[in-house]
Amino acid sequence: GENVEQHPSTLSVQEGDSAVIKCTYSDSASNYFPWYKQELGKRPQLIIDIRSNVGEKKDQRIAVTLNKTAKHFSLHITETQPEDSAVYFCAPFSGTYKYIFGTGTRLKVLA
């Protein structure tokens, strides 16, 4: 079956520093690559996404880069703030028409 892994599983950064989370997937037919932020007890929120015909996308402090050949995509957060603290999930849309969530990364931004 499809395999989706995230690294690191936990990440602590100082406020103002950058954070990078990598998502590696196995299904070469995946064509849509979203990142979600989930706060405790809440639903996942889409923060950025990218499609397979684009290599990079940026939205203010958040960016996503995609390497389809190597089958990984990464979330980049610059100028981190305490409110960025949450669990982040990637969820590539597979060739079997479903989203497979990654293992999750707990980000802690230290003030």
Partner 1 sequence: GAVVSQHPSRVICKSGTSVKIECRSLDFQATTMFWYRQFPKQSLMLMATSNEGSKATYEQGVEKDKFLINHASLTLSTLTVTSAHPEDSSFYICSAGSGAAETQYFGPGTRLLVL
Question: Applying CB under 8 A, which residues contact partner 1?
Answer: 1, 31-32, 34, 41-46, 49, 51, 89, 91, 93, 97-104
Residue whose CB is less far from partner 1, 42 or 60: 42
Structure-token pair, residue 66: 């995609």
Closest CB 8 distance from partner 1, rounded Å: 15
Residue whose CB is less far from partner 1, 14 or 42: 42
Structure-token pair, residue 77: 């957060």
Residue whose CB is less far from partner 1, 69 or 97: 97
CA distance 95 to 72: 15
CA distance 5 to 51: 19
Closest CB 16 distance from partner 1, rounded Å: 27
Name the phi and psi angles at 82, rounded to 5.
-55, -35
